[in-house]
Amino acid sequence: MLRRYQMNLQVGWLSIVGKRENNEDACYCDPQNRFFLVADGMGGQSGGERASQIAVEAIPKKLQQIDFENSTPTQTKKQIEEAVAFANQKIMVLGESDYELKNMGTTVVFSVLVNGTLFVGGIGDSRVYSLRKGALEQLTTDHSLTQALMEAGTLTPKEAVNHRYRNVLYRYLGCKEGGAGTNLKQIPIQPGDRFLLCSDGVTGGASDPTLLSLLKTGTDPQKTAETIVQAATDGGSKDNITALVIFFE
């Protein structure tokens, strides 16, 4: 699905089941070109789907309250954090009240555009990447045990690729620590900037060099999202696969 917006922004996205029985990923594109989200649920079929859906419903409700023309960076960050905490609380309460949803949770990554500045962040191991002047950068930090081990110097990036704890998260929406720590970043937009929001189904099958090549050579965000999903599939991804691509031209 491709949407065209003011400010020369274009976005395309695709979400597929992949090799799973159902799709626990969820995606949200604000109709007014203000924010975008990708969530990856966990906790079983019903739990994962419910958690990711709550994230892409609850967070936009709060983000819509931002004054997108006059909000200061400090105000914007505060409201984004409050939106994430709101969703986290809703997921926790439902998980505690419904036995079938007891262990549900979800990751979430987002981009929020305010006055020409993009605010990006996330919880869990879904990711946001930027492509600027030919360089790919991962803007979010994985809240996984393998990432924590790498930061502690006990695990190398190469060892982390197939580590047994690579999919174990210590922070996600649905746990006590999930309401904070989105590692928000501010990025003043430049013409030619491109961004990718994706679930770990993408990174589980497509390497950073592959993502760099596809984002750099793509001429249409919808087709680029589709080629990224296909590359992850061809690369052996075993999860649901969701890619949301934003072009600023």
- pLDDT of 192 higher than 60: yes
Residue 2 confidence (pLDDT): 47
pLDDT tens digits, one per residue of 149-178: 877 888 777 767 676 767 789 899 999 888
The pairing of strands 135-138 and 127-132 is antiparallel
Q: Are 66 and 112 in contact (CB under 8 A)?
A: yes
* Distance separating the N- and C-terminal Cα atoms of the chain: 19
Class level of CATH domain 2-248: alpha beta
pLDDT tens digits, one per residue of 95-154: 888 877 888 999 999 999 999 999 999 999 999 999 999 999 999 999 988 887 877 888
Q: Are 66 and 119 in contact (CB under 8 A)?
A: no
Q: What is the 3-state secondary structure (H, E, C) of the chain?
A: CEEECCCCEEEEEEEECCCCCCCCEEEEECCCCCEEEEEEEECCHHHHHHHHHHHHHHHHHHHCCCCCCCCCHHHHHHHHHHHHHHHHHHHHHHHHHCHHHCCCEEEEEEEEEECCEEEEEEECCCEEEEEECCEEEECCCCCEHHHHHHHCCCCCHHHHCCCCCCCCECCCECEHHHHCCCCCEEEECCCCCEEEEECHHHHCCCCHHHHHHHHHHCCCHHHHHHHHHHHHHHCCCCCCEEEEEEEEC
pLDDT tens digits, one per residue of 29-78: 999 989 999 999 997 657 899 999 999 999 999 999 999 999 999 999 99
Whole-structure pTM value: 0.92
- pLDDT of 83 higher than 90: yes
